[in-house]
Structure 1
Amino acid sequence: MKFKSRKDIPFKLFTIISISALIALETYTFLTDKYSFGITDIVILLIIPILLWIYFGTYYKLTASNLEYTSGPMKGSIPVTKIKEIMVGKTMLSGLKPATAKKGLIIKYDIYNEIYITPKAKDFFIKRILEINPDIKITPYDF
């Protein structure tokens, strides 16, 4: 089952402002008399599709045995049987974060590994993952 990522306002604003600024910069340099296509233009023209890829291509998939995550170019898979705990409503500041919002789910697996995700249907996601592995500890975060 596929779960789309929730996008909060700061993420949406960051994406829109970044892409708008890059397009404005490219347009301005193109319209000036001294324009020449260079490495900076290539970098800018690569950043825009990557930002759009992350914005539209962040999702999570639960299969019978794995939690698969995709966020633009970042992809991976975690066996559901290795998940020990899910912390609900907390934001992880560092680490693996294929997410597009705050107050999501921190999934702890193996011994010390963690991943931060933000499925739109958080409660339904938890219900489905518990059907696969009922031994997962759910910890609400009230801070």
Structure 2
Amino acid sequence: MKKLIFPALLLASTLMLPTPARAQDKEKDDTPLAKEMGKVDEAFKGFRRETDPVKGAKAAREAQDALLKTLAFTPALIEKMPAGEAKEKALVAYRTQIGQLFVTFCEVEAAFVAKDLPGVAKLVDAVKAAKKKGHDEFMEDEDK
């Protein structure tokens, strides 16, 4: 039995050691934009399955607040672009998507206030689609 425990502990401790890839992922998560987007995501998770209109509306407002803060930051993918028209267009596209998502979160709040849970469910699908689109356009692939 002891012969099995030691190798298992050794393997587990090895897997927990920091690696350059894990350190790089942590750096990405430590940016101000990533922190605010994390708050948006937590609020989204909060209202996604919420059935209490008061709690759902509060979570939607939290998402709105965090989302507004993201406008002050530039995604790393855009930051790395050379100055010029393409970069300006990308910044406008980013801000437009953030603005559209903000409006959707306002609609989520309104649906909760109106106690329209089926409406909230439809808007949750719209948020998921917006999240996917934004990540596809403004985040670097993990594979690179």
Q: Report the TM-score when normalising by structure 1.
A: 0.28
Tell me which structure has the larger Cα radius of gyration: 2
TM-score (norm 2): 0.28
Relative to its length, the structure with more strand (as a share) is 1
